[in-house]
Structure 1
Amino acid sequence: MRVMHLFSSKTFAGLERHVEELAYAQTEKHDVQVIGPANFKERFRANYKVINTNQWRLSPILCFQIKKAIHDFQPDIIHSHAYKTTAIISKLKNKEFQHVATIHGTKKKTDAFEKAAFIFGASSKSLDNINKPQKEVLENWVDESRFYNFEKGSPQRYIYVGRLEPVKNPLRLLKAWKNINHKLDIYGDGSLKSKIIDFIKQNTLTDRVRLMGEEDDVKNIYANTSGVLISSDREGSPKVLFEALFCNIPVISTSVGIMPDLLPSACLSESNDESFKELLEFAIPKIDEIHESCTPLFNEAKTKYTLKNQNERVEEIYRTLLSNASR
Structure 2
Amino acid sequence: MNTTKLKSKPTLNNEYWITLDSQVFGGIETHVLELAAGLIQFKQNVRVVLLTEYANSQPIISKLTSANIPFNFVSELSSGKPHINILKHFYSAIQQHQPKLIHAHGYKASIISRLACLQCKWHSQSHPPAQMTTYHAGETPKGKVRFYDMLDRFSAFMSNRNFAVSHDIAHKIPDKTVVLNNFVSLPPYPKHFGKNIAYVGRLSHEKAPDRYLALAQYFPNDHFHLYGSGPMAAELKPLATENVLFHGHIDDMNAVWDNIGVLLITSRFEGLPMAALEAMSRGIPVISTNVGAISSLIEHDKNGWIGSNVEALRQSLNSWLTLSEVHKAEIRKKARQTIEHHFSIQAVIPQYLEQYEEVLNR
Identify the range of structure 1 (150-159 vs 67-76) with the bigger mean alpha-carbon deviation.
150-159
| Pairing 1:99–2:139 present | no
1:154-191 deviations in Å (ceiling 9; x for gaps): 44221111112222121221022112132111111222
> What corresponds to 2:349 in structure 1?
311
Structure 2 segments unaligned to the other structure (5+ residues)? 1-13, 76-82, 122-127, 141-149
> What corresponds to 2:225 in structure 1?
185
CA contact (8 A) 1:152 1:223 kept: no
Structure 1 residue identity aligned to 2:119: K
> What is the 5 A alignment of 1:21-60?
21-28=34-41, 29-36=43-50, 37-38=52-53, 39=58, 40-44=60-64, 45-51=68-74
Structure 1 residue identity aligned to 2:45: D
Check 1:111–1:83 CA distance in 2 against 1; reply closer, same or farther (3 A cut): same
Identify the range of structure 1 (223-232 vs 59-68) with the bigger mean alpha-carbon deviation.
59-68
Check 1:197–1:152 CA distance in 2 against 1; reply closer, same or farther (3 A cut): farther
Cα separation, 2, equivalents of 1:107 and 1:164? 14
Structure 1 residue identity aligned to 2:225: D
CA contact (8 A) 1:77 1:97 kept: yes
> What corresponds to 2:197 in structure 1?
158
- Percent identical pairs in the alignment equals 24
Shift of 1:228: 0.6
> What corresponds to 2:145 in structure 1?
none
Shift of 1:308: 3.1
> What corresponds to 1:229 in structure 2?
264
CA contact (8 A) 1:102 1:121 kept: yes
Give the aligned CA root-mean-square deviation in angstroms: 2.5
> What corresponds to 1:55 in structure 2?
none
> What is the 5 A alignment of 1:112-191?
112-133=155-176, 135-144=177-186, 147-148=187-188, 151=190, 153-181=192-220, 182-191=222-231
Cα separation, 1, equivalents of 2:195 and 2:37? 34
Q: Which of 91, 94, 102 is equivalent to 1:67?
A: 91
Question: Is the partner of 1:141 in helix, strand or coil?
Answer: coil
1:50-81 deviations in Å (ceiling 9; x for gaps): 248xxxxxx97121111122222211101011
Shift of 1:30: 2.8
Shift of 1:294: 7.2
Question: Is the partner of 2:103 in helix, strand or coil?
Answer: strand
Cα separation, 2, equivalents of 1:130 and 1:190? 27
> What corresponds to 1:56 in structure 2?
none
Q: Which of 283, 287, 295 is equivalent to 1:260?
A: 295
TM-score (norm 2): 0.76
